[in-house]
Amino acid sequence: MRINVYIGLGSNMGCKRRNIETAIEYITKIPGVNLVKKSSLYETEPWGKTDQDKFLNQVIMIETDSGADELLDRLLETEIKMGRQRFEKWGPRVIDLDILLYGNQVIRTERLRVPHPHMRERLFVLIPLQEIGTELRFPDDGVTIEEVLSRVLARDGNTDIHKI
């Protein structure tokens, strides 16, 4: 069975645009994966650890017949191939790949949490996600992407995120 999966991509080291393009190339070479949509690129301030360079972010939608754990393994392999090293939480990175939504599934394991646990707080995820998934509903509570984005914008405003 084919599943629609939304993946967040981010980079704040080296040639950020090329890093994201390379990651998408790797992802589309995973057997059983088809790229369906990709958002615009967005330049954003860092989140969590703020004393680092700005990020370039994008969200893609793929269609896959891979299980969530198998897909996670392949995304982690891609990060390693591209030189990602995990020295500090939310630190600088060549590439960051996060499974945001995996079909309509709610996944809570030691390795994977879907919907992504911080995505409802992050404009750099919500804005590009809404761009390519205007009718999305979160599988855990049925709230629409529009409702979540509206709440975050009302609370925080549209700060420090710029479409490229």
User: Which of the residues 53, 69, 74, 93 is marked catalytic?
Assistant: 93
The CATH number assigned to the domain holding 88 equals 3.30.70.560
Active-site residue flag, 140: no
Q: How many domains in the chain? A: 1
Does the active-site annotation cover 122? Answer: no
User: Above 80 in pLDDT, residue 47?
Assistant: no
Active-site residue identified among 51, 84, 141, 151: 84
Contacts of 91 (CB under 8 A, 6+ apart): 49, 52
| pLDDT per residue as tens digits for the range 55-70 | 999 999 999 999 999 9
Checking if the pLDDT of 52 tops 80, the result is no
Active-site choice (17, 74, 96, 122): 96
How large is the average pLDDT for residues 99-109?
96
Check residues 27 and 46 and name the one with the higher pLDDT.
27
Domain that holds residue 61: 3-163
Q: Would you call 155 a catalytic residue per the annotation?
A: no
